[in-house]
Amino acid sequence: MIRLRRAALPRGTVTKLEEYTGEIARQTTEKARKTRARELWGARRSVRPALLDALSEMAPGHARCMYCGDSQGTDIDHFDPKSRTPLRTFDWLNHLLACSYCNSNQKRSLFPTDGDGAPLLVDPTLREPLDHLRLVLPLGEYRARTPQGQACIDVFGLNRRPVLVKGRVDAYATARHSLELWRIATDRGQHDKAGEIVRVSWNRPLADVLVAMFHQSGLPAAGALFAGEEDVLALLNDPELRKGFLREP
């Protein structure tokens, strides 16, 4: 998971979402609200294209899942499930882009909370996932830094899905090669090629690996985290390379 910025919706879509929410709110019982929310969501054709367009704009790479970062995001997921809070069914701030596997096989209607009822899952548009999760780069596995991080690992199966773990390992190797190629291209004055390397690197699946690499390279324990890969650490801390990849001033 990586930090994301929420996009703005067209005014017409915002108005329609408000109308749907008002219709749900007018129901007199919680059961009726849940029923009406399901009915309206099932007939959401008038707002679905705009929602998907905005979510795709926000998502990493080519509309990747905001939870696993690997597969294409195809589903509008309700972060707080509509079966739990029907009044948030058409709340734009409650919508995230998920792949069908994360949405239908992993998360479903799961929504763990702490003792005070606060959500444990990390909404990447509101929280920085790096505060809750640490990626062990050579292993391709996540370690929890907080109860919220552990909830994400458990609910989304971030370490139980071999395709994800192996994909992160391969993404780490590919990212290392991309850094080297960028340095070579830049040293040769091939700036268009260097720019293309950056663009492709961020558009690949599992961009969380690249995010973790740059983040961990700046930690006090970076030497231990990149033990045996001092050349990679040097590249990650190269000011020119960081400016090229991160658009740092």
pLDDT at 6: 96
Q: CA angle at residue 214 from 213 to 220, to 5 degrees?
A: 95
How far, in Å, CA of 207 to CA of 118, rounded? 28
pLDDT for 44: 86
Specify the DSSP element, H or E, that contains 133.
Answer: strand 133-136
For residue 133, the cross-strand partners are 144
**SS3 (DSSP) at 12:** helix
Measuring CA to CA, how many Å separate 52 from each of 49, 101, 173?
A: 5, 17, 32
pLDDT value, residue 249: 35
Q: What is the pTM of this model?
A: 0.91
Phi and psi at residue 81, to the nearest 5°: -55, 140
Q: Which residue in 185, 132, 202, 98 sits closest to 213, CA to CA?
A: 202
Which residues, including other chains, have CB under 8 Å from residue 90's CB and lie 6 or more apart?
Answer: 17, 18, 20, 21, 24, 40, 41, 47
pLDDT, residue 228, reads 94
| pLDDT beneath 70: ranges in the chain | 248-249
